[in-house]
Structure 1
Amino acid sequence: MTIEINLLPWREERRARRSKRFFVTLGLAALLGLGGGYGLTWHYQQEAQAQQQRNAHIQAQSRQLDSAIREISELEAIRDQMLEQVRVFTELQMGRTQTVHVLSDLTSSLVDGVHYSQLTRQGDSLRLTGLAENNRQVSDQLRALAAAASFTEPVLSEVEAEGGGERRRFSLSMSQQLPRAAEANQASAEEGS
């Protein structure tokens, strides 16, 4: 008697179990892959959002710095303008006393027989036109102006006879000199700015 054993259903069941295990493993791997992909995508999105927030913060700070730089530039311009006004006020203040010194020295150095007819001032340069009775008085007037503390050495530009040779019309030019105290004040004002 022969015993017949049928192995086919057992192999079928094993193949079905293996197939089922393979598909379950494949499904789990697919789920794991999809979950990992979604996790990486979410992670990169979070990183991108964090970077965008950092960029937005940097741009906001950059705008604030630009605004502060503009404000500083405006304040520097105002400061420069104020320093220029102080310089002009100082010059005007010194010019007040200079004008007094110039007029005082002009009148005190006036020689008998000489009359001034015109005085022109441009900056520190003075141009003086006058009348004298003779050439000697013109020479004396030049020496008197040279001795004055407010003027540099005068330069005679012309002398011409007027009124039938009796009088001399002369023109001369010279520069103003700052008095010693005013020079010291101006030097200290320039050092302060």
Structure 2
Amino acid sequence: MAYINLLPWREAARKERQKKYLTVLAATALFSFAAMFSINMLYNAKIDGQLQRNSYLNNEIKVLEQRIVEISTLKDKKKSLQQRMSLIEQLQSSRNLGTQIMDEIASVVPAGVYLTQFEKKGSSLLLVGKSESNNRLSNMLREAESSELLADPLLEFIEAGKDSSTLLSNFKMHLMITGFEAVHGPAEPVTPATGGGK
């Protein structure tokens, strides 16, 4: 039987298998690289898109913050204007208050009652004077109670005059101006001092 040498064929087959293996390995590596590159590009695109959205949102937030500051400024200006308008209305409503008070005092003081002192402190009025009789003072108190501008009349004292030649009695009275607090704000009323009466 003739001797057949199979070594060259085996060597060729081994080299062929090795070549196919390297080819498959290279193809697998190339496919893996392409897949990783594609995935990387996809995620980079998503990240870029998210960064753009974040940038847009940050810009819109800044615009809204500026508008909030403007709205706050406008509210402060509105409040200031409302205060000025309120002050102007108060001044308009109170510019004739002094004349109205004098007219009202003249209308409530009856004949036979004479004022020697007239003082205004805040919303309080102090009247000091002389009266021919207690009935006239009573009439004055009733007139003051029915007045639309005056309120809470309080007779602090009434006493006979020191001069026996006259029949006039000295008196001291407190009154409140109605609506004064709405115009000028609250004021401390004059507290009547204790005194003897007759």
Structure 1 unaligned residues grouped into runs of 5+: 179-193
Distance 1:135 1:28 in 2: 129
Which stretch has the larger CA shift, 16-25 or 166-175?
166-175
What's the offset of the Cα at 1:51?
Answer: 0.9
Give the match's secondary structure for 1:152. Answer: strand
Give the partner amino acid of 2:34.
G
Please, which runs of 5 or more residues in structure 2 have no aligned partner? 181-198
> In structure 1, what is the equivalent of residue 178 of structure 2?
176
CA contact (8 A) 2:125 2:176 kept: yes
Shift of 1:71: 0.5
Alpha carbons of structure 1 residues 78 and 162: separation in structure 2 relative to 1, 3 Å: farther
Rate the CA distance shift 1:135–1:177 in 2: closer, same or farther, 3 A.
farther
Q: Give the count of matched residue pairs.
A: 175
Q: What is the CA distance between 1:177 and its match in structure 2?
A: 5.0
Per mean C-alpha deviation after superposition, the further-off stretch among 149-158 and 76-85 is 149-158
8 A Cα contact 2:145 2:152, kept in partner: yes
1:83-132 deviation per Cα after TM superposition (whole angstroms, max 9, x unaligned): 1211121122111244332221112222233115122142xx32222111
Question: What are the equivalent positions in structure 2 for 1:78-97 lying under 5 Å apart?
Answer: 78-97=77-96
Aligned counterparts of 1:116 and 1:164: Cα–Cα separation in 2: 16
Kindly, what percent of the aligned residue pairs are identical? 22
Partner of 1:128: 126
Deviates more, 1:160-169 or 1:76-85: 160-169
More helix by share: 1
Please give the alpha-carbon distance, in whole angstroms, between the structure 2 residues aligned to 1:161 and 1:56.
91
